[in-house]
Amino acid sequence: MDWDALRVSLRLGAGTLAVLLPCGIWFGRVLAIRQFRGKSLVEALVTVPLVLPPTVLGFYLLVAFGARSPLGQAFQTLVGQSLPFSFQGLLLASAIANIPFVVQPIQRGFEAITSDVRDAAACCGLTPWQRFLRIEVPLAWPGILTAAILTFAHTLGEFGVVLMVGGNLPGQTRTLSVAIYDRMQAFDDRSAGIMAATLLVIAVATLMLTTTLSRQVSPRRG
Amino acid sequence: MPRRALRSLVFVAIVIVAFWAGVAAQRPPTIAAAANLNFALNEIKDRFVRERGTPVEIVFGASGTLTRQIQDGAPFELFLAADEAFTSRLTVAGLTRDAGVVYALGRLVVFAPRGSPLTVDPRLDGLARLVKAGKGALPGGGKFAIANPDVAPYGEAAEAVLQKHGLWDDLRPQLVLGDSIAQAAQFATTGNAIGGLLAYSLVVEPGFAQRGTYALIPDSDHLPLRQRMVLLKRASPTATQFYNYLQGQTAREIFRKNGYGVPPVAEPR
């Protein structure tokens, strides 16, 4: 069992959540409530990472931020670190790949709130922030929770883009899913088997958690 | 329940912070190594760590893949390739300290897992018989494993051997390409392919003795696998020490034991 890899995986999952969840709540709400021109294009762009092979994302990230690209060199001099083959680069890739997993459930959650409820809250004299925190977020909670759990689980399972952009560096970019591949290639089936079983258990557990929690949270609020 | 939900959110936040805090420890130097070195280099590394007390970290992959990663900025300090072409590409690009040194000479074997219809011999007559009998196809729709010639020097050598024996064109649809020679070996030694052209250093391992049979391919049948290593510009003193250690007597003996030829001492630097 590669504990370093498990740690990287969990950090990546938590980091992706920390980056994406606030943006996702804001953006999902905008998409649910506002009508604007080009909305269908925006919605399509949000969904694109779902159908795009990870190699496409990996390719663009490497070409745009690699040590040989001007952008990558500028980033290197500014931050003193390259984006590909670093945890930060992995986080960026993972955040992009997970956009649909965050935005869509949250958007559905906010869409389920009728405008009557919002109007009533406004009539009661609640400020926009109070309305958002006390009325909308609790009502959209099942969607937000689903988004969070799906994103976390999906990040743990990410493979292609991690291998391409991360490069299998122990302790930095070698996640559990990449470590399984690495151990297979090193003829170490035992470790690979243990890690594969670990990921399987985590995946089943998270999905069970989602269904249980959403059942607990949703019934009276619909 | 919002309050309970809030509490769980706080919990999640704590977990995040905890994992964030446990980062940033100093990492030992990372070394990129061709996949054929899997057993030999780990053995040398263990000896080095025991003798010097300084850890190093090794990442294995196909030489071509690793070269590409180094060009794109991967933070490796030392690179052990499976040939000279990939290291010289890095040297030309100005990424290495110098042209490096040849540390081992690789050998190719034809391998057949237990129960395979393939019989192994240095001239590949057994393989030729199978291909001829099946009119190109292998028995039971079987596959033959080599490493991807574009990224793995051992795959390139395998292609040259198959070309030389006139088997390349017929066998091509039946080839399964490993990302690296280690993956090709994985395919063949697990019996998922009826055989393969693999690195001698991978099948010579005692653990593989009962997995199948193999025969050495004459090294005149392909371009020599002169395996060169280079220190990259960012190499730390520990990486440099390891580089020197790899040229020492202990390392040379381990290379030899693992099926490599070793260059005469002091190859041109």
Q: Is B73 on the interface with A (CB under 8 A)?
A: yes
- Please report the pLDDT score of residue A199 as a whole number: 93
**Chain A residues touching B73 at Cβ < 8 A:** 66-68, 72, 76, 82, 84-85
Q: How far apart are CA B145 and CA B139, in angstroms?
A: 14
Fold agreement between B30-105+226-257 and B106-221: yes
From the centroid of its chain, how far is CA A91? 9
Nearest to A141 among B5, B22, B23 (CB): B5
pLDDT score for A222: 43
CB-CB neighbors (< 8 A) of A145 in chain B: 5
Chain B residue numbers with beta carbons less than 8 Å from the beta carbon of A17 are: 12, 16
CA distance B186 to B42: 18
CATH topology of domain B106-221: D-Maltodextrin-Binding Protein; domain 2 (3.40.190)
Contact A184 B186 (CB under 8 A): yes
pLDDT in tens, B204-230: 988 787 899 999 999 999 999 999 999
State the nearest Cα–Cα gap between B134 and chain A, in angstroms.
Answer: 31
Residues of B in contact with A182 (CB under 8 A): 60
Give the type of residue at A203.
A
Instruction: Indicate yes or no: CB of B72 within 8 angstroms of CB of A17.
Output: no
Q: Fill in the DSSP letter of residue A135.
A: I
Q: What is the pLDDT of residues B1-55, one digit of tens each?
A: 455 655 566 566 555 555 554 454 568 999 999 999 999 999 999 999 999 999 9
Distance from the B135 Cα atom to the nearest Cα atom in chain A, whole angstroms: 32
Question: Is residue A222 situated within a structural domain?
Answer: no
CB B239 within 8 A of CB B56: yes
| Overall average pLDDT of the B67-91 stretch | 95
pTM listed for this prediction? 0.85
First to last CA, chain B: 70
> Checking DSSP bridges between strand B195-199 and strand B108-113, what pairing results, if any?
antiparallel
Residues 6+ away with beta carbon under 8 Å from B260: B40, B104, B105, B106, B107, B200, B201, B227
Chain A residues with beta carbon closer than 8 angstroms to that of B183:
184-185
B145, β-bridge pairs:
B176, B196
User: How do the domains of chain B map onto residue ranges?
Assistant: 30-105+226-257, 106-221
Are residues B74 and A141, on separate chains, in Cβ contact within 8 Å?
no
CB nearest to A185's CB, from B27, B35, B74: B35
Q: Which long-range contacts (CB under 8 A, 24 or more apart) does A134-138 make?
A: A136/A29, A136/A110, A137/A25, A137/B2, A138/A221, A138/B2, A138/B5
Query: Does the CB of B5 have a partner CB in chain A at under 8 Å?
Result: yes
Q: Is the pLDDT of residue B90 over 70?
A: yes
Instruction: Name chain B contacts of A133, Cβ cutoff 8 Å.
Output: none
Pick the CATH number of B30-105+226-257 from 3.30.160.20, 3.50.50.60, 3.80.10.10, 3.40.190.10: 3.40.190.10
pLDDT in tens, B119-172: 999 999 999 999 999 887 888 889 999 999 999 999 999 999 999 999 999 999
Nearest CA to B232 among B42, B60, B86, B49? B86
pLDDT at B269: 46
The Cα–Cα gap between B125 and B172 comes to 17
Chain A CB contacts of B186 under 8 Å are 184-185, 187
Per-run averaged pLDDT (10 residues), chain A, 222 residues: 91 95 95 92 93 91 86 83 87 94 95 89 86 90 90 92 90 93 89 94 88 68 46
Closest by CA position to B108, among listed B13, B215, B12, B183: B215
At CB < 8 Å, which residues of chain A contact B? 7, 10-11, 14-15, 17-18, 62, 66-68, 72, 76, 82, 84-87, 137-138, 141, 145, 148, 167-172, 182, 184-187, 216-217
Q: Which residues contact B204 (CB under 8 A, 6 or more apart)?
A: B258, B259
Nearest CA-CA distance, residue B20 and chain A, Å: 7
Task: Kindly determine whether residue B182 and residue A141, on different chains, have CB atoms separated by under 8 Å.
Answer: no
Residue of A85, A145, A184 with shortest CB distance to B69 = A85
- Using a CB-CB distance cutoff of 8 angstroms, which residues of chain B are in contact with residue A215? none
Distance from CA of A151 to the nearest CA of B (A): 14
Q: What's the number of domains chain A is made of?
A: 1
Rounded to an integer, the average pLDDT of B176-197 is: 94
Give the burial class of A63: count Cβ atoms within 10 A of its Cβ; 0-12 exposed, 13-18 middle, 19 or more buried: middle
The CATH number given to whatever domain includes residue A133 is 1.10.3720.10
Q: Which residues contact A38 (CB under 8 A, 6 or more apart)?
A: none
Q: Residue A151 belongs to what domain range?
A: 3-217
ipTM of this predicted complex? Answer: 0.80
Q: Using CA atoms, how far apart are residues A166 and A55, in angstroms rounded to an integer?
A: 12
**The predicted structure's pLDDT at residue A187:** 86
